[in-house]
Amino acid sequence: MPISVYNRTWILETEHSAYVFGLNRAGMLVNCFWGNRLPARHDYPEPPDSSGWASFDGPAQCLPEEYPCYGGMSYHEPCLKACFADGVRDVRLSFQSASQADAEHLVLHLHDPYYPLAVDLHYRLHPQCDILERWAELRNEGNAIIQVERALSAAWQLPGPSAQRLSHLSGRWNDEFNLHRQPLTPGVFQLESRRMSSSHQHNPWFALDNGSATEESGQVWFGLLSWSGSWKLLAETTPFSSTRLLIGLNDWDFCWQLHPGETFTCPVSLAGYTQNGFGAASRLLHTHLRTQLPHAPALHKVLYNSWEATLFDVSAEGQAKLAEIAAQLGVERFVMDDGWFLGRHHDAAGLGDWKPDPTKFPHGLTPLIRRVHDLGMDFGLWLEPEMVNPNSDLYRAHPDWVLHYPTRPRTTARNQLMLNLARPDVQEYLIQSLSSLLSENDIAFIKWDMNRNVSEAGWPDAPGDPRQVWVEYTRGVYHVWNTLRTRFPNIVWQSCSGGGGRADAGILHLADQIWPSDNTSALARLRIQEGFSQAYPANTMEAWVTDADRHQLSLDFRFHVSMCGSLGIGGNLLAWSTAERLTAARHIARYKAIRPIVQLGDLYRLRSFAADGNPALLYLDQDRAHGVLFAFCTRADNPAAPTPISIRLQGLLPDGLYMMESQPLARSGASWMQQGLTLPLKPGESLLLQIERV
């Protein structure tokens, strides 16, 4: 049984880990344990008690509460802050009962003793991936509005010595997923997005360790927030030897009017534990995101995307010429990017009018789609549904549909404004217009872009508090996308926001893939992909070979970098020489053979790009019988001489006998993992080697 009750504690066990919490003698719901699964139920500690610390810190300050609220003597960051109709801003929650939705889903029912506020804490286990999902649901059981000013999804509690360091991913446009490992000191460390998307700046992923975990060893507690709008993470190190990591919706500029009878559901925060370092933490997340999302992971086709080749200079003939070469290379999907719709000759017009531009496509998209099909590929298209250019028919008809304040100028970015997707009429318009586009044309793939962040987050005539827009907008995106996904179940979807501006577990419920960055330089990608892979699996990571660093790096190297994810091509194929096209065709054929291992296998980051610029990655299938090793050299003391790059493999069966391409002898898994191998590579060189159990 993954969930059991023992002595007023709930024991939640996955294959290797346990998460235990319970009611202490004072009736507070507190965390007891989160770590390696133990043999017996009585092995786990009992719920801790405390009478506080002098007259200054009450029990709430000293104890790891499961869902701390702002009330009583609470000075730490709370998960919940609310104001009742009579102006009381003090929330107390006491345990009422527990129930199970199923064998892996526990719900604790809490209630304010005086006010009609019910809070359900949800715990859903994924035993195979050692993952626990948590979220809270607030319900107003009275007849007056309750103002909710903060509603985070979960507080993850750890003893301070275990959580002295926080790993996180930060960046900016064109420079996403920089991995930072930073010591936690007393006080609160905050990461957030106020941008109406999860953001390029900080990704809603975290890992905590005691400061000594490595890629291969050490205890790591890690997690994500499954939400694609503004969010917040607070890591608070208390004076009482504990660390609490709170995560959820951002409460910046936020207030939710919880109406009588209404339930407010927070997004899911999922987390896990491993004693095997950051690499194992990533693999658990990858497995979870590959196997537990609503849509089954398919093997992604090799695609061509026309953006970097043509920018806005799109025409039916130009696209067909690119498609012909793409097909010769072995590409399976041709994607026409921006520039195809009404008036879209530059970035200052057209967004919102999702019809083919008649000057570029006088007979619609059908002739081009037919041509692409005849070439043996399927057809994909770029969209940016949430946006509108002031120079568009949509904006001229509905200037009130954008986020704005009537008294303020509307700040454009890339000449565009954001439609207010919190509005049901805007959602309906998008569903209708995109449904027409998708039913009139045989489209197999959509790249859904979002090329700016919010400004003037006003919602005139909002039915409730206009600050609810922070949640309703994202829910609106989910609703539109989900409706389209349900109506057109065969379409493969990609999430893009000027690169990795909306890369999160929430969007992965809708998108099969993510475009991690507009930076397509292979050198930059090695770093970006390493960061991305901390949280998200290779099948979700679209990676194109483009003309960036064409004159600095070989096509082999650039292909190898992109073959570490879901391979695509984004260069101007018209300018590729015959030799380049032959090389590309060879790599594409090779990729098709190894793609199940790369896209659906386990990733071992054998060497880190961040460490010395010479990364190595191993992808292993679930049976540990087939693997693909990638090794890259980008830095060396002597650029003219080969650098011996030593690599120790991981994840193999120690007693299995493995043969590695280019190596003379079969060796045991133990030998590959302990002695490893040395590959002499010069800067700019790379290798792809397959390994097989014989």
The residues assigned a catalytic role are 449, 518
Position 546 contacts ligand GLA (CB under 6 A) = no
Contact 605, 617 (CB under 8 A): yes
CA pseudo-torsion sign 543, 549, 555, 557 = negative
Residues 310-369 that bind ligand GLA (CB under 6 A): 337-338
Closest distance to ligand GLA from the beta carbon of 337 (Å): 5
- Which token pair is 218? 């050490």
* Comparison of 231 and 448: residue with beta carbon closer to ligand GLA: 448
- Helices then strands, counting H and E runs in the chain, come out as 13, 38
Q: Looking at the DSSP assignment, which residues form a beta bridge with residue 677? A: 647
Q: Within a 10 A sphere around the Cβ of 85, how many other Cβ atoms? A: 14
User: How many angstroms from the chain centroid is the CA of residue 300?
Assistant: 18
Tell me: does residue 307 bind ligand GLA (CB under 6 A).
Answer: yes
Query: Is 244 or 502 the residue whose CB approaches ligand GLA more closely?
Result: 502
561 binds ligand GLA (CB under 6 A): no
Q: Between residues 162 and 389, which has the closer beta carbon with respect to ligand GLA?
A: 389
The one-letter amino acid code at 658 reads Y
Tell the smallest beta-carbon distance from residue 572 to ligand GLA (Å). 15
- In order of 237, 255, 382, 477, 507, the CA distances from 449 in angstroms are 38, 28, 7, 12, 12
User: Smallest gap, in angstroms, from Cβ of residue 640 to ligand GLA?
Assistant: 37
The interface with ligand GLA within residues 171-200 (CB under 6 A) comprises none
Structure tokens at 179: 């991995």
Q: Tokens representing 397?
A: 């008809």
Per-residue contact track with ligand GLA, 515 to 534, x per CB under 6 A? x--x----------------
Q: Which is nearer to ligand GLA, 213 or 450 (CB)?
A: 450
Q: How far apart are CA 266 and CA 268, in angstroms?
A: 7
Taking contact as CB under 6 A, which single stretch among the options 69-77, 496-504, 527-535, 664-672 is the one that binds ligand GLA? 496-504
CB 570 within 8 A of CB 517: no
Q: How far is the CB of 63 from ligand GLA (least distance, A)?
A: 46
CB-side neighbour CA atoms (13 Å) of 272: 29
State how far Cα 635 lies from the chain centre.
Answer: 30
The DSSP secondary structure of 363-418, one letter per residue, reads: T-SHHHHHHHHHTT-EEEEEE-TTEE-SSSHHHHH-GGGBS--TTS----BTTBEE
Closest residue to ligand GLA, based on beta-carbon distance: 338
Beta bridge partner(s), residue 630: 617, 688
Per rule CB under 6 A, is residue 498 in the interface with ligand GLA? Answer: yes
If one asks whether residue 499 binds ligand GLA (CB under 6 A), the answer comes out as: yes
Which of 227, 231, 382, 478: binder of ligand GLA (CB under 6 A)? 382
* SS3 sequence of 178-218: EEEEEECCCEEEEEEECCCCCCCCECCEEEEECCCCCCCCE
417 vs 628, beta carbon nearer ligand GLA: 417
CA distance 475 to 496: 17
Minimum Å gap between C-beta 451 and ligand GLA is 5
State in angstroms the smallest separation of the CB of 412 from ligand GLA.
15
Using the rule CB under 6 A, is 685 a contact of ligand GLA? no
Q: Is 496 in the site for ligand GLA (CB under 6 A)?
A: yes
Considering the complex, state which of residue 222 and residue 382 has its C-beta at the smaller distance from ligand GLA: 382
Q: Residues 423 to 482: which contact ligand GLA by CB under 6 A?
A: 449, 451
Taking the complex as a whole, the smallest distance from the CB of residue 489 to ligand GLA amounts, in Å, to: 24
Q: Which is nearer to ligand GLA, 414 or 682 (CB)?
A: 414
Binding residues for ligand GLA, rule: CB under 6 A, are 307, 337-338, 382, 449, 451, 496, 498-499, 515, 518
